[in-house]
Structure 1
Amino acid sequence: MASELVPLTGIRLPTMGEMFASRVRDSRSISADQALVHMIKVMMGTGMLSLPLAFKHSGIWLGMILLAIICAICIYCTRQLVYGQHYITFIKREQRMDYANVMRNAVELGPSWIRGHGYLFKQLVNVNMFVAQFGFCCVYFVFMADNLKQFFDQTSNIHLSQATWIALLMIPITALCTIRELKALAPLAACANAVYLIAVTIVLADLFSDWYPWTSLPAFGAVESLPLFFGTVMFAFEGVAVVLPIENQMNEPIHFITPNGVLNTSCILVLLLYMTVGFFGFLRYGNDIKDTLTLNLPQTPFYQAIKIMFVLCILVSYPLQFYVPMERVEKWIKRKVVENKQEPLIYAIRFGGVLLTCAMAQLIPHLALFISLVGSVAGTSLTLVFPPLIELLCCYSKQQLTPWVWLRNIGLMLFALVGFSTGTYASIVQIIEAFGQSDV
C-alpha cells in the first residue's frame, strides 16, 4: 500500500533529485519567490525589536558572536527537519507531510521499543506547536495595542485603554484570519515586507544618528545575565513552525533546501538584520534601552507614525502564525466531520481561536513575559529537540547511525536542554521583577 512504511534497508538510498522531486501544481502552489517572502515575514516579528535589550545582557561583542551561533544551529536543525520530511514522504510515496506526522513516522521507523509510540510523539509536537503559535499571536495583540495606545495618547485627544484597543483589533484580525490559503496572503505579505523594511530603515537611521562611546559599553556581559540573552534571542527566531507549511506548497521543493535556496537565504538576510538592530540599538541607547526599540524612539509625530507602520506589519504576521495550528485543525475536521458541516465548523473554530488569543491578551497581566516563557519552552523543543531526534531515527532506518551522527545530534539536544533551562530561568526572572515593580 502507498501509505505503508517501507524502510530502505539493503536497497539503494534515494538521491536528492528523487527526494526533492517537483510536485504536482495545484491551486495552493507557490513559487520560490513567494516562499522567500513568507519566510522573511514570519521571522521578522516583534522579537527583533527586543534584540538591543538582549545585547545589553550579553555585551556588545559577545552578543554578535552568540547571535550568529544560535542562528547557525537553528538553520541546521531546520534543514534536518526538511530532509527528514522528504526522506519519509519518499518512502510513503507522498508529496507533503506536516511537522507532527514527520515526527510520528520517524518514530515508527525507529527501534522496536519506540515504534509503538508514534502517535504520542505526534501529539507532543502538536501541543508544542499550538502553545508556541498561539503564544506569538497573543504577543502580537499586546504589541499592537500598546503601540496604538501610545501613538494616539501622544498625538491626539483619543485616549483609549489597552483593553479597548485589543478589542478593536479583533475586527481586522478576524477578517484576515478568514483567508485560509497562504497563496492568497502572499500579496499582503509582500506589501507588509515593504512597509516593514521602510520602518526598519527609518529606525536604523535613528540608530545611526548618535552613539554612546564604545568604551562605555561592556564588550562581554556577566555570565549570570546570559540566560536573559538566550531567552530573548530564541523568542526572536519564531518561524520554525511555519517552515513545513511554506515548503510543502512550493512547486520546486529543491529550491528550498539548496545552499542558495529559500531557507538559507531568508535566514542569513534576517540574521544580518538582527545583528544590525541588536548591535547598533545597544550602541545608540546604551543601558537606557527598553523592552522594545519602539519605546525608545523620539517622542515626535514622525517617529510615532513609525509605530503604526510596525502595527500594520504585525497585523499581517498574525494570520501567518495563526495558519499553522489552524491547518492541523482543518485536517482533523476533514477526517472526522461530514462534508456539509466542515466549512461552518472551520470558520467557527478560526473565530474562536482569534477570540481566545484576544481574551488571553485582555486578562493576563505582563503577557509578553509569559509568552516569552512559553516561547522558550515550546520554541526550543520545536527548533532544537525534535529535528535532531528525527534525524537519528531516519539514520537508524538507513543503518547510518555512525558515531558522528550520534555525537552531533546528542550535542544539539544537550544544547537545547541548556537553552530550555536558561530561557525558562530568564523569563521567570523577568516576570518576578515585573510583578515586583507593579506592586510598588
Structure 2
Amino acid sequence: MSSKRQIKLGAVPMGVGGPGRHNLWHDPEVPADASVSVEWFIDLAQQAEAALFDLIFIVDSQFITPDSPPHYLNRLEPLTLLSALAVTTRHIGLVGTLTTSYNEPFNVARRLASLDLISKGRAGWNVVTSGDAGTAGNYGRDEHYDYDTRYGRALEHVEVVQKLWRSYEDDALVRNRETGQFLDRSKLHALHYKGEHFSVVGPLNIQRSPQGQPVIFQAGDSHQGRDLGANVADVVFTHAPSVEKGQAFYRDIKARAERLGRNADDIIILPGAQIYIGDTDAEAREIERHYHAVDHSFEQALAEYGRSFGWHDFRQYDLDAPFPVEALEHARSSFYTAAKAATDQAVANGWTLRQAVAAGLQLRPNAFVGSAETVANEMIRWFEARALDGFNLYIGHPEQFRRFTREVVPILQERGVYRRAYEGSTLRESLGLEIPRNLR
C-alpha cells in the first residue's frame, strides 16, 4: 500500500436527474429508464473501475412527491442494486444509503454484511437520518423524529450495528469435517443490548468479511451531523464551495474527531463535485452554461424549493411578495440547516420569493471546469491545500464522465497523486483504512 497521500475518487450516479437536474433525462445518451436499469449502472460502475475509482456511491430517500426529481421518482433500492454490481465488478467499492430513522440495526447489519461478503470486502454504508419528513407516513408514524432524536438514534444505531458485526470472531467457524466441528462456540457472542432507542439480543448470523466490516460513510452539515460524522464515520461526504470553506470543514471534522479520542487521519473527507471538461477553458465554461440552462427551469425550481422545508408548497405564495419566513417552521424535522440558510439569505437581501428561487437557479461557476489540464491542476490545488482528501463526482451527462476518465485521470496519475493500480481487493485497502479490530 502506497504511503504517499493520494486523491480518492467516488462516482455518484444521478440517473435520469437529481436535485436541480430535472431535465437530465432529455440527454439522448441517458436511457429514459436509467434509474432502474441495472445494465446502465453496471456499465457506469465498470467505467469507474477501469479508471481506478475507489467507489460508486448510491444515494437514496424513501419519500417522494410528484415534484421530486426524476431520479427520485423511480429508482432501485441501493443494496439490491449494489449486489448486482458486486458480481459484475472486482475492485470498486460499493456504498449504499440506508437510514437509521426507519431501519432496525439487526436488519441493516445483516444486509450490509451480506453485501460485504458477496463483494469480498467492498461494501460501505452511507449513514443518513432521513431529512424528508414525509418518510414518517410510510412507516406508520404520524410525525418525523425531531433533530436531536434523529441524531441520537443514529449514533446508537451505528454503534449497535458495529457490535453485531463483531458477533463472530475471525476464526469462529472451524468447518472441520474430520472432527465434525463447524463452530467454536466460545467465539460466537450474543449482544444482549438495551439502550435508549434499541434493544437487540443478537448474535448476527453472518461472519466478518475480508475487510472486517463495511466502511462507514456519513453526510450532514449541522452541528449534530458533524458530531455524528466525527464520532462514527470513516468517510465524510460534504459540499465545499471554495478552498477556504473546504479547509474550514476539514479542520473542524478532524478536530471534533480528535476530541472524541480518534486519530484525525482515520477520517477521509470527500466533497461532492460537478466537473465540466472542454478542449479549452472557454469551451468548458460554455458547456457548463449550456447544461445549467437546459437541465432545469424556474417552474421546476419553485416546485422543488420546498423539499428542505418538509416539501412545503411555495407555489401557494405570491411570488413578488416578501419571502415567507413563516415557512421555516415546516423545516423543523426536515433539512432544517439548509432551509434556515435559505431563509436567512432571503431576509438579509430583502428578497421576494421569486428572487430567492431565482438566486438558487443562478449559475455559480464550479471550480472544476476547463480543459483537462486546468481541471487536474485545480483538483490537485484543493487536495494539496487539505481542503479535501478526494472527490465524489456527480455523474450526469455521460460524455463528461468519459472525458474525465480518459483525459483528467492520466494527468493525475502522471502528477503522482492518483493510483495506477488498485492497492488490494477491499474498499478499506483502496481507501488506506485499517481493518477494525474485533474487540471482545
After TM superposition, the score normalised by the length of structure 1 is 0.23
Q: Give the helix-richer structure, 1 or 2.
A: 1
Greater RCO structure (CA 8 Å; 6+ sep): 1
